Amino acid sequence: CDGTNDCSDKSDEEQSVCLANGVSISTNACGNQYSCKGSSGICVVADWMCDDYQDCPQNDDEEQANCDAFEASYGTLTCGETATGDAYQYNEYPFTFTLPAGYAAVKMSTCLTDNQGPVYLYLRNDDYTVQVNGNYSEQCQCSGRYILSADTTDIVAGEEYTVSLYTEFTGTYAIKVDCDASSLAAITTSNVCTDSYTGGSSGYDYGSGYDYGSGYDPYDSNAYSGSSGYDTDSISNTPISLGCGVAETGTLAVGEALAFSWIQSGSVDVSLNGCASDFDTVFTVYVLDSVTSEPIYTAENDDGCGTQSYLTVTYDSAYSGSTYVLALTGYGGSNGGSYSVTLEC
């Protein structure tokens, strides 16, 4: 259980052997993942265990005894506490969580305390009828820190769920768990992140400390600043107000990002039309939390019309009357030119 194959069939690295001998799951060949029997060297992530789909050559990932033994190695998340530990690049770390009876909501804030991430949280029950994940979570105030929110519309108090932390970097993770008996809105303290951006030439501070200049969008795998993806680096303008049917035009410099905003009114979807721009654009949309003003990722679009962006924002009654923000960038941070942005209502 040290990551080295000492037996011809690799049995000294098998998950069941390691767990039976009290060896931490993170020290064997598959790290925190399940190690298939035999010498295949295949590792299985927690979400693929006992999911009615064969991942191991001998189908041992579908044997209940192996799943139970593997789940016994999970950590536990508890309301009012912060879990910490070591995380390794491109690894998943499973935990169990039960919302106590009488509680209505939970927020989990996570980060790598010694690295700017990114990290993700996924919450699900065993039969996948519930799956809340980072694609729909709020962003914390500093880059690489994210919040998973769930209430009784998503989960049932008293039922056990699996929460998985996934990271693309190596570092020390922290997961802060806050619960409330009334609602999500009542939870105002769930942010394990302590530093925040305060404005300047590399970013735009919306008043909540969130740094748009971090250049990292956690919802796209090509999003890291300087690569080929969606880079919101160097937003420094006060958002330009968008009115229905009015085209806002101007010039976007290479490496620049501009912010636009509108207030959602009425119960209709709206669209953002950038088709008349003359360069490869990227749209990323956020809605500002009505209590904290923190931006909540909503949607994004790259090539909605040719290489230009066209994006429809679906009406959400939870954010009726809220301010939405559009971040306009050039694809990969290497495109710029004349833009045209129209809010279609």
Amino acid at 163: V
Quick one: average pLDDT of 66-90? 83
Backbone phi, psi, residue 28, to 5°: -90, -175
pLDDT tens-digit readout, 90-116: 677 889 999 999 999 998 888 877 766
The pLDDT of residue 251 is 93
DSSP, res 112 = E
CB 97 within 8 A of CB 161: yes
Task: Report the relative pairing of strands 270-273 and 337-344 from DSSP bridges.
Answer: antiparallel
More confident residue, 318 or 244: 244
pLDDT tens-digit readout, 249-307: 999 888 788 889 998 877 888 999 999 999 999 888 888 766 656 677 777 887 789 88
The pLDDT of residue 182 is 92
Position 157 pLDDT exceeds 90: yes
Position 161 pLDDT exceeds 80: yes
CB 107 within 8 A of CB 162: no
- Output the six-digit token pair for 204: 């735009």
CB 168 within 8 A of CB 184: no
pLDDT tens-digit readout, 21-64: 766 544 456 766 788 888 777 888 776 788 788 888 899 999 98
E-strand stretches of 193-336: 240-241, 247-252, 257-263, 270-273, 281-288, 295-301, 310-313, 323-330
- Output the six-digit token pair for 278: 């003359």
Q: What angle do CA 112, 210, 332 make, to 5 degrees?
A: 80
The pLDDT of residue 270 is 92
pLDDT tens-digit readout, 190-220: 666 544 333 322 232 332 223 333 333 333 3
